[in-house]
Amino acid sequence: MIRRLTIFGVGLIGGSLSLALRAAGTCQEVVGCSRSESHLREAKDLGVIDRYTLDPVEAVKGADMVVLAVPLGAMRGVCEAIRGHLEPDASLTDVGSAKASVVEAVREGFGEMPLGFVPGHPIAGTEKSGVSAAFPTLFHERRVILTPLETTDLGALARVRTMWEEAGAVVETMSVEHHDEVLAATSHLPHLLAFGLVDSLARMGEREEIFRYAAGGFRDFTRIASSDPVMWRDVCLANQEAILKVMGRYQEDLGMITRAIEAGDGDSLLEIFQRAKGARDRFCP
């Protein structure tokens, strides 16, 4: 049971975590904190949090669980603001999509690594953002990856794991580096490709007309291009190295497809498409 949960950034992820834990009855009080009073008031009015404050120090007072659910670029600032004010028994975790950068931000913000810090990332979300999009079952049967550090207190790790399990998630652990490579491939790269495609088409002439003939496949393919631009800018900057690595491989593969089309090489195209369909059908049934 969490006595007091403090969430920095009550948007889709932070708000859904609060709703899930309250639905599970495993959290006595949820306090929201961010820089926007209107967002916090909306979260309170929607019944997502019990109360809010704009003061980070006030927010973490008495909290035994602190969740950083702000954009990656805002992590360090929050840590600086609460430095020296966490309760001794507080567990601290985050929901950032790139872990190495958050670990660095937390270390810099606190001036040292808090022993209660457990880096985390729920592999869940929709293309929507903001607290009005939050819902209590967002994490049901979704994976949450925790990337504990050498310094991480095992009690804190257990409490953060339990929190996510109570929210309905399946928790796994891996290293920070491995997380960042896997997510670059399965999440960050697809978002960039979708943003890039829609932008490419939008900048062609007759753009309204082009989108009129977009069918279901295009809608599915580009749904993630409706995601929050600020969040994704931050992800690109935070996971630069791993993203550039998979992007380079992808561009090589795209070059291979392009050359096969140029050469009218149907056999190579068929081989690529069959291999892709086989993998997609096997792993995403």
Q: In this complex, which beta carbon is closest to a second copy, that of residue 8 or of residue 195?
A: 195
Q: In this complex, which beta carbon is closest to a second copy, that of residue 65 or of residue 70?
A: 70
Nearest approach, Cβ of residue 102 and a second copy (Å): 17
Pairing of strands 65-68, 91-94: parallel
Which span sits near a second copy by CB under 8 A: 12-20, 27-35, 54-62, 141-149? 141-149
- CA–CA separation, 249 and 270 (whole Å): 20
* C-alpha 159, offset from chain centre: 20
Q: In this complex, which beta carbon is closest to a second copy, that of residue 123 or of residue 133?
A: 123
Contact status: 253 vs a second copy (CB under 8 A)? yes
Count the site residues for a second copy by CB under 8 A: 91
Contact status: 274 vs a second copy (CB under 8 A)? yes
Nearest approach, Cβ of residue 162 and a second copy (Å): 21
The sign of the dihedral angle between the CA atoms of 200, 203, 205, 210 is: positive
Nearest approach, Cβ of residue 65 and a second copy (Å): 24
Site for a second copy in 221-250 (CB under 8 A): 221-230, 232-234, 236-237, 240, 243-244, 246-250
Which span sits near a second copy by CB under 8 A: 41-49, 56-64, 80-88, 267-275? 267-275
- CA–CA separation, 101 and 188 (whole Å): 14
Site string for a second copy, 107-126 (x = CB under 8 A): ----------------xxxx
Is the distance from CB of 5 to CB of 63 less than 8 angstroms? Answer: yes
Contact status: 141 vs a second copy (CB under 8 A)? no
Site for a second copy in 176-215 (CB under 8 A): 182-183, 185-187, 189-204, 207-215
Q: In this complex, which beta carbon is closest to a second copy, that of residue 106 or of residue 192?
A: 192
Nearest approach, Cβ of residue 47 and a second copy (Å): 25
Site for a second copy in 7-26 (CB under 8 A): none
Q: In this complex, which beta carbon is closest to a second copy, that of residue 154 or of residue 237?
A: 237
Pick from 35, 83, 85, 142: which binds a second copy (CB under 8 A)?
A: 142
Closest CA to 87 of 64, 109, 107: 64
Question: Residue 27 pairs with which residues in a beta bridge?
Answer: 2
Cα distances (Å, whole numbers) of residue 204 to 179, 211, 233: 36, 11, 23
Contact status: 135 vs a second copy (CB under 8 A)? no
The residues near 185 (Cβ < 8 Å, ≥ 6 apart) are 246
- CA–CA separation, 121 and 102 (whole Å): 11
Nearest approach, Cβ of residue 261 and a second copy (Å): 5
Contact status: 140 vs a second copy (CB under 8 A)? no
Q: In this complex, which beta carbon is closest to a second copy, that of residue 18 or of residue 97?
A: 97
